[in-house]
Chains A and B, each alone.
Chain A
Amino acid sequence: MSRLQFNSRLFKAAVKYSIPVLLGYATIGIAFGLLLVNAGYPWWLSLVMSLVLYAGAGQFMAIGLFAAGTTLWEICLMELVLNARHMAYGLSMLKRLPGKGFMRLYCIFGLTDETFALLSSLPQGDDADAGIIPPGSDRDLFMFYVTLLDQFYWVSGSVIGAAAGSLIPFNFEGIGFALTALFVVLLIEQILRVKKPHVFVISGLVTVLSVIFIPGRFSLLTAMALSLALVSLLGQTGKGEKA
């Protein structure tokens, strides 16, 4: 446990390295807090969710599902599909996260999209650390600090947003669109990154049909299941044609 001793030089380097996430998490966290309070829940639920669940898109989606009066199994299934991408993050960080103990466990718990982006883009090899990690210092402790700081930014933002939402008398009607906007942004990022048009076309069509023909909140779950099934089926034949 001696390695968990506070190292202010390393901590400052971690703050500097994580500033982009501070900007993103503080503002999106505030939007999350506003949205949750606007949906009729107390400010401290925002604190609990950001401490326990700690998944940006997952928390935004949870508000929508809470508002729709979801069941436990549905919400767990939806979160499983939404967060399955995190399995791939862990896979590529297996050998890079801190070796063992509490630091490793916490870094696994806190491996969000943004934290993964920071930790995975750390240069590898001791010579390459200059400029980001002070030379000769503990790389594991640095990754732990970055993970901890990221969650601190997220928790602070979401509590500030929730407090503002419950204290300031302002008409927040329409703030719920932030959720749709977030999904549109994440979709565009996927389109720019993944060069597989058939995935987007199939999932999009299936979703429109589900929303039209399947009542209420079951449409989302149906769309999710059908898209994954269809894409994996048709993807196989696509691969065969190319090969």
Chain B
Amino acid sequence: MNTLGEALVFTFATGAVVLFCRAFPFIFFRTGNGEGNRGAGWISFVEKIVPPAAMTVLAVSSVASSIKANVYESLPVLAAAGVTAALHLWKRNSLISIFGGTALYMVLKQVLKGF
């Protein structure tokens, strides 16, 4: 675990990284020719490929690494992730999906402790 001091430094550093991402087009396409061909291929890669790939990696790795860390975790993690996904496909409301999945996970952890 990082110390509080490290966490603070990392917060400011990553804040700068995020600001760089948000300011990037305003710095490099200042004239408003964002549609111009300079860097257009690269921008369309960032726009079309990075978000789906990044989200797949984050979702799959957070499920897979908690299963790997402890095999007995498999059931609660898979069940809660499945319910989160099902709730989201059904209602398409992030709050319901996240809270529903998390609540189920917390309950399953408590219940399975008894065995």
A residues whose Cβ falls under 8 Å from a Cβ of B: 23-24, 27-28, 31, 39-42, 45, 48-49, 52-55, 57-58, 61-62, 64-70, 72, 75-76, 79-92, 94-95, 97, 108-109, 111, 173-175, 177-191, 194, 196, 199-200, 202-204, 206-208, 210-212, 219-220, 223-224, 227-228, 231-232, 235
Docked complex Cα distance between A181 and B61 (Å): 12
Q: What range describes how many residues of B lie at the interface?
A: 35 or more
Within 8 Å of chain A (Cβ to Cβ): is B75? no
- Chain B interface residues (CB < 8 Å from chain A): 1-2, 4, 6-15, 17-26, 29, 32, 34, 43, 45-66, 68, 77, 80-81, 84-85, 88-89, 94-95, 97-99, 101-102, 105-106, 109-110
Number of A-B contacts (CB under 8 A): 257
Extra 20 A-B pairs, beta carbons < 8 Å, given A54-B18, A79-B18, A196-B49: A42-B4, A76-B14, A86-B22, A87-B46, A88-B47, A91-B25, A94-B32, A108-B19, A108-B26, A174-B106, A178-B98, A179-B62, A180-B59, A180-B77, A183-B58, A184-B84, A199-B52, A199-B53, A200-B56, A228-B53
When the two chains form their complex, are residues A211 and B85 in contact, meaning their CB atoms are under 8 A apart? no
Which of B1, B12, B57, B66 makes the CB contact (< 8 A) with A227? B57
25 CB < 8 A contacts A-B: A27-B95, A27-B99, A28-B95, A41-B4, A45-B7, A54-B18, A61-B58, A66-B1, A79-B18, A88-B43, A94-B29, A94-B34, A108-B19, A108-B23, A173-B110, A174-B105, A175-B106, A178-B102, A180-B59, A181-B97, A185-B98, A189-B55, A207-B60, A210-B61, A223-B61
Main secondary structure, interface of B, reads: helix
Q: Assess whether B95 is in contact with A23, with CB atoms less than 8 Å apart.
A: yes
Q: A45-B4, A72-B9, A180-B77 are in contact. Are A194 and B52 (CB under 8 A)?
A: yes
Distance, CA A75 to CA B74, complexed state (A): 27
Complex CA distance for A198 and B109, rounded to whole angstroms: 35
Task: Summarize A's interface: helix, strand, loop or mixed.
Answer: helix
